[in-house]
Structure 1
Amino acid sequence: MARKSYQQQLAGLHENVLYMSEVVMERLRLGLNALEQKDRDLAHEVIEGDDEVNELYLELEQDCIDLLALQQPVASDLRMIAASFKIITDLERIGDLAVNLGEYTLEADHDVFPEVDIQELGTVTLDMLEATMDAYAENDTEACYAVADRDDDLDDLCERASALVVRDLIETELEENTEQEIERLLQDVSRLLLTIRDLERIGDHAVNIAARTFYMVENDDELIY
């Protein structure tokens, strides 16, 4: 009977990690929509929703600790718990980055450098996150490799977007603007570069999750390093 309860706890942890990922992905979608639509109400919803993500993280952290302390798991079970603990940490940080998108929405009241397609970057990061959580759900090691490979494409997109912003700033005739206009432009540029950086970081967290999933399934740290 005790062994059955232990297996149920492991299955429950697995399902709850997937549930947390669904909550985080929804926050990311809302953050991207808020940014695209300049929707302040949606931005506030994203920011306020961070409490739910943090609470889920703390609950699952405690579940992992209880399983480690009370059940003394070995081999594959131990890897599953350890990987899940690392994965919820990445998910919590993605939730924080989604909050940043909400905050950037509140700070921005107009489009700046519209040729930079933030939504394209957001779509790639969201696709990577969905793929890596599917890999965790299905113990799919091939999908882990695919997520890791796709990170190079995201990095290239982010690098090109950042370079475009900087190039346009350099080409702007600042002397024709007032000091107030220049300050506003610099704030806009800084916010856009931070948005690009945050989306790139979400991709990095997706790769971290893929690496931990691969380790969980194969007992191989190849993707971690």
Structure 2
Amino acid sequence: MARNEYQNRLEGLREDVLHMGETVRERLGIALRALEERNEALGREVIERDYEINETYLELERECTDLIALQQPVAGDLRFIAASFKIITDLERVADLATNLGEYAGRAEREIYPDVDVGHIGERVDEALGEAMAAYAEEDVEACYAIAERDEEIDDLCERASELVIRDLIETDMDGAETERLFGEVSRLLLTVRDLERVGDHAVNIAARTLYMVESDDELIY
């Protein structure tokens, strides 16, 4: 393969990874809206279109494999391809979490804990994901560290939300039928918070791989 063609494929890989990131963020946004509105139809849209993300992932996985197998890249090019492969894996998992959120939207019957601002947590994790993809696009090392620091804030938000729900559940007096219904709603809410926290973790993973790609620094990889 001519050097120019090889470089074009590398740049094409970067563009495709960024496009996948945009698509995943779009699906996450729809899932968050479905949760906010308790809109089963929107949630179903995210679930039914997840196969598109999976197909994109497989196509990019093959491209990464071909570039490594056929070109035997070294140094910076190898780190770029390896980081891109890891990042599409994180994006595919974020898409899976978005389908979970879409499913929870279909099961939500009422808002039982208005003090738990799932929408705010969702905004924060979506921002972190967007910033992580921007760091990858721009090879922005400082942004990578900032994303890792922001994750602590997201973790705190999720921890406080979970504690509020559990404490209130312990203190609430209910009869048998009401207890069963409340447990279902509490379970859904706790799973929602957990999955949003995981989206934030994947944003940090993307930042960590970007840092390694740019500077061969594995400080943020965990």
TM range (shorter): over 0.9
Hey, what does 2:86 align to over in structure 1?
A: 86
What code does the residue aligned with 2:132 have?
Answer: T
Number of the residue aligned with 2:38: 38
Q: Given the alignment, which residue of 190, 194, 211 partners 1:193?
A: 190
Amino acid at match of 2:38: K
Counterpart code for 2:149:
D
| Equivalent residue, structure 2, for 1:106 | 106
Structure 1 counterpart of 2:214 = 217
Q: Could you list the runs of 5+ residues in structure 1 that have no partner in the other structure? A: none
Structure 2 residue aligned with 1:17: 17
What TM-score do the two structures reach when normalised by structure 2? 0.98
Equivalences for residues 175-186 of structure 1 within 5 A: 177=175, 179-186=176-183
The corresponding residue for 2:160 is 160
Q: Which amino acid aligns with 2:120?
A: E
Report the counterpart of residue 145 of structure 2 in structure 1. 145
Shift of 1:108: 1.1
Counterpart-to-counterpart distance in 1, 2:88 and 2:173 = 46
In structure 2, C-alpha distance between the alignment counterparts of 1:55 and 1:64, rounded to whole Å: 14
- Give 1:137 deviation, angstroms: 0.4
2:209 counterpart letter in structure 1:
R
Separation (CA, whole Å) in 2 of partners of 1:148 and 1:160: 19
- The alignment of Structure 1 onto Structure 2 pairs a total of residues equal to 222
- Deviation track 1:1-22 (CA, whole Å, cap 9, x = no partner) reads 7111100110000000000000
Please state if 1:124 is matched with 2:124: yes
Aligned-residue offset at 1:180: 2.4
Is 1:205 equivalent to 2:202 in the alignment? Answer: yes
Runs in 1 of length 4+ with deviation above 3 angstroms? none
Shift of residue 170, structure 1, vs aligned partner: 1.0
Output the CA distance in 2 between the equivalents of 1:54 and 1:79: 23
Report % sequence identity.
64
Give distance in 2, aligned partners of 1:188 and 1:109.
8
User: Given residue 134 of structure 1, which amino acid in structure 2 is its aligned partner?
Assistant: A
Question: Which region of structure 1 is more displaced relative to structure 2, 180-189 or 121-130?
Answer: 180-189
| CA deviation string 1:133-174 (max 9, x = no partner) | 000000000000000000100101100000000011011112
Q: CA RMSD in A?
A: 0.8
Question: Within 1, Cα distance between the matches of 2:170 and 2:200?
Answer: 28
| TM-score, normalisation: structure 1 | 0.97
- Encode CA deviations 1:177-222: one digit per residue, 9 max, x unaligned: 2x22211111111110000000000000000000000000001111
Worse-matched range after superposition: 108-117 or 144-153: 108-117
Distance 1:129 1:101 in 2: 16
Structure-1 separation of matches of 2:74 and 2:80 = 10
